[in-house]
Amino acid sequence: MIKSRAAVAFEAGKPLEIVEVDVAPPQKGEVLVRIVASGVCHTDAFTLSGEDPEGIFPAILGHEGGGIVEAIGEGVTSLEVGDHVIPLYTAECRECKFCKSGKTNLCQAVRGTQGKGVMPDGTSRFSYQGKPIYHYMGCSTFSEYTVLPEISLAKIPKDAPLEKVCLLGCGVTTGIGAVLNTAKVEEGATVAIFGLGGIGLAAIIGATMAKASRIIAIDINPSKFDIARELGATDFVNPKDHDKPIQEVIVEMTDGGVDYSFECVGNVQLMRAALECAHKGWGESTIIGVAGAGQEISTRPFQLVTGRVWRGSAFGGVKGRTELPGYVAKSQSGEIPLDTFITHTMGLEDINKAFDLMHEGKSIRTVIHF
Ligand code: NAD
Ligand code: AHE
Ligand code: ZN
């Protein structure tokens, strides 16, 4: 057992508490990681709110981390002590039906136990005052030390700054990947991006990489437009400035609708708007945002009958162990400007401020330094 400073979500809807938890050694196929930095994603806030059907407490949240291998369990062959790693909430075993399909990044090797907040053997490595604390999304990066399955770690070069590339563990990769891998936006296409947080802004980078001709950035918080412009957005729409449904506004702006749209908020009404602003006959809309328990999407089936396509994307369709090093390389060459996302940095003791900043619309990403 080692001691680890961690931010624990003891109950839904309550601030995180910084305590010293006990971390058990990595078991067979597992790796102990010292977290150097972690971003705070809206999904952490979503789960803390109590809206996540898989939310389980007490738990150590956080899934956008960067760290260094501290110890390896029996049978671990692809990593050694000292390796730099990014934890993956979407594992890559390369052996399951999903990995072998060539059609998805959604490896299911550890997904069942991960969703229950435990390691593949059904138990937790974390405890506090002798009682178990649950893992979160298989990562729990709001802890100085965490344990993950070997297949849930992407090895990255040691010269990549962990306090920046941690953002590739979720938000930045998700937005870029949704555009390039899921929607496969092509050169000259028109794109609408709903929500300009870490995910939507990264989707703008993806659309810029794809050489989209027009990138329409949509947010009810106009303070997000400057960064969107810096990253390549060409048009800016605040739904609050319009009396009519936002899909009608976009359809009018684009002679019938966009080729591709992306919902990066987690609002089911906005998901409908994003679908319905896609062009008749071929427009495709990708849902990235995560909606709460019991929420459902709806539209007239006629929207799909007349050629629009509705899709979803998890972690941008990216296979983490294989493809994340490529994203790290692009961040090091400047093609993915991670600094633009990092509006705040702070120590673990201030982590609740990071959630406040997010809810107040004042941050893009806060990076917690350990
Ligand atoms: P964020 O809070 O940083 O950004 C959300 C943005 O949406 C904000 O700028 C906010 O002003 C804007 N917004 C809110 N309501 C709006 C509305 N009605 N119309 C237009 N804009 C609106 O969040 P984030 O970290 O960027 O995450 C966005 C969503 O993506 C969340 O639901 C998160 O859970 C989800 N997510 C999904 C994946 C995935 O793999 N599918 C990965 C990461 C995050
Ligand atoms: N647990 C929720 C769903 C949450 C969800 O959709 N998670 C996204 C990643 S969000 C990262 O910030 C995801 O990748 N989902 C695929 C998966 O396998 O979890 C619920 O509704 O139960
Ligand atoms: Zn996330």
For residue 205, the model assigns a pLDDT of 98
Give me the residues paired with residue 357 across strands. Answer: none
* Residue 221 belongs to some domain of the structure: yes
For residue 284, the model assigns a pLDDT of 98
Domain check: are 164 and 220 in the same one? no
* Residue 164 belongs to some domain of the structure: yes
- What is the pLDDT of the chain when averaged over all its residues? 98
* Residue 186 belongs to some domain of the structure: yes
Q: Which of 30, 47, 51, 63 is catalytic?
A: 63
Domain check: are 136 and 257 in the same one? no
Percent share of the chain, pLDDT over 70: 100
* Residue 321 belongs to some domain of the structure: no
Domain count for the chain, please give it: 2
pLDDT in tens, 222-265: 999 999 999 999 999 999 999 999 999 999 999 999 999 999 99
State the distance from the centre of ligand 3 to the C-alpha of 64, rounded, in angstroms: 6
* Residue 319 belongs to some domain of the structure: no
Domain check: are 45 and 130 in the same one? yes
Which pTM does this prediction carry? 0.98
For residue 242, the model assigns a pLDDT of 98
C-beta of residue 88 within 8 angstroms of C-beta of residue 169: yes
Give the CATH number, domain containing residue 259. 3.40.50.720
For residue 267, the model assigns a pLDDT of 98
Domain check: are 116 and 250 in the same one? no
Query: Which among 255, 272, 254 is positioned nearest to 263, based on CA atoms?
Result: 272
Q: Which of 30, 47, 51, 64 is catalytic?
A: 64
* Residue 329 belongs to some domain of the structure: no
* Residue 104 belongs to some domain of the structure: yes
| Separation between Cα atoms, residue 290 and residue 168, nearest integer Å | 18
135: three-class secondary structure by DSSP: coil
- Kindly tell me the burial class for residue 155, based on how many C-beta atoms sit within 10 Å of its own C-beta (0-12, 13-18, 19 or more): middle
* Ranges of H-type helices in 178-284: 198-209, 225-231, 246-253, 268-276
Query: Which among 47, 11, 14, 34 is positioned nearest to 85, based on CA atoms?
Result: 34
- Name the residue range of residue 78's domain: 2-169+337-369
For residue 271, the model assigns a pLDDT of 98
State the distance from the centre of ligand 1 to the C-alpha of 201, rounded, in angstroms: 10
For residue 326, the model assigns a pLDDT of 98
pLDDT in tens, 135-185: 999 999 999 999 999 999 999 999 999 999 999 999 999 999 999 999 999
Domain check: are 24 and 156 in the same one? yes
Give the CATH number, domain containing residue 345. 3.90.180.10
Place of tokens 């849930």: 152
- Give me the sign of the Cα torsion angle 35, 161, 197, 294: negative
| Separation between Cα atoms, residue 254 and residue 267, nearest integer Å | 23
- What is the DSSP pairing of strand 365-369 with strand 235-237? unpaired
